A = this chain, B = another copy of it.
């Protein structure tokens, strides 16, 4: 029988995860049943939200089981199909496994057209991160021309799209990021009005005052923690905060107290709202069409960071928490 490899969750990490949490397992390659297809993974996504799946806590999705394969969005090629409408050689994307091969029902896959854009974009700017940015900014953040939009983790897969969509909406855009290289990319290549390297800034509040002299109308929050602490007091009247991620806090083992600056929301009648891209399932087509249009017109640029080799997938994931990636972090599993 043919075999394949999977990454399993070896143990639930406490605090910052390490490679011990992952185990590379060789298993029999699964066979597609009726309605299913067998997919060979070309690219696998690693995403910050996966940290939450490693916990044994109820959340918006089931926690991963210890000793079982972990889940991931992948883009890959159909090797065998028992599904009408997909055939061997088709490129598809879907929520599958950290695995070199996997089976899935054809209804749960989306076809990717390799002629339109590199297929890897189906995991980034034309996939979950891009769609998250699209609905999070436009539906929750509601930027208006002249608004000041601040986005944290601005050089990440979601943040970089948020900032460019905010510019398209006519807003001033300020990003926070963790290296000078990222800051340069944001301001020089993506045209952000300003970017702050939070690791090199003693006084985040002062840096925000300087870069946002008219206050902040929309905050797209990917990180939480001290950056969010510095942003909230500078929110304008009727500001909107889209809470998309809290990566600065995902590895904390204890969060002793909850919100302590809610009085700001009274003062500014601001709205803070959590968002999850899964809620927009029926509207992906709209987002993907517009994002593809902005790429075509040159208004939307993207970067991908590719770790080569399935065996290195855990490193790609762990690097997210070190802020190593610029743009979307991917694992290249096969050609």
Q: Which residues of A contact B (CB under 8 A)?
A: 52, 59-60, 221, 224-226, 228-229, 232, 243-246, 249-250, 255-276, 279
Q: Is the CB of A266 within 8 A of B257?
A: no
Contact A272 to B269, CB < 8 A, known contacts A259-B260, A261-B259: no
Q: How many copies does the complex hold?
A: 2
Nearest chain B CB to A63 CB, angstrom units: 12
A272–B261 Cα distance when bound, in Å, is 12
List the 6 shortest-distance A-B pairs measured between CB atoms, nearest first: A265-B274, A259-B259, A229-B258, A266-B274, A258-B261, A272-B272
A232–B258 Cα distance when bound, in Å, is 8
A-B contact pairs, 8 of them (CB 8 A): A224-B262, A228-B259, A228-B262, A229-B258, A257-B260, A258-B259, A260-B260, A270-B274
Q: Which residue of B lies closest to A230 (CB)?
A: B258
Q: Which residue of B lies closest to A61 (CB)?
A: B267
Q: Is the CB of B60 within 8 A of A262?
A: no
Q: Is the CB of A246 within 8 A of B258?
A: no
| CB-contact partner of A263 in B224, B256, B264, under 8 A | B224
Q: Is the CB of A272 within 8 A of B279?
A: no
Q: Is the CB of B255 within 8 A of A258?
A: no
Q: Which residue of B lies closest to A256 (CB)?
A: B260
The residue among A225, A250, A269 with the most chain B CB atoms within 10 A of its own CB is A269
| CB-contact partner of A255 in B52, B224, B250, B260, under 8 A | B260
Contact A274 to B262, CB < 8 A, known contacts A60-B267, A269-B279: yes
Q: Is the CB of B273 within 8 A of A271?
A: yes
Q: Give every chain B residue within 8 A of A273 (Cβ-Cβ).
A: 265, 269-272
Q: Which residue of B lies closest to A231 (CB)?
A: B258
Q: Give every chain B residue within 8 A of A255 (Cβ-Cβ).
A: 260-261
Q: Is the CB of B276 within 8 A of A269?
A: yes
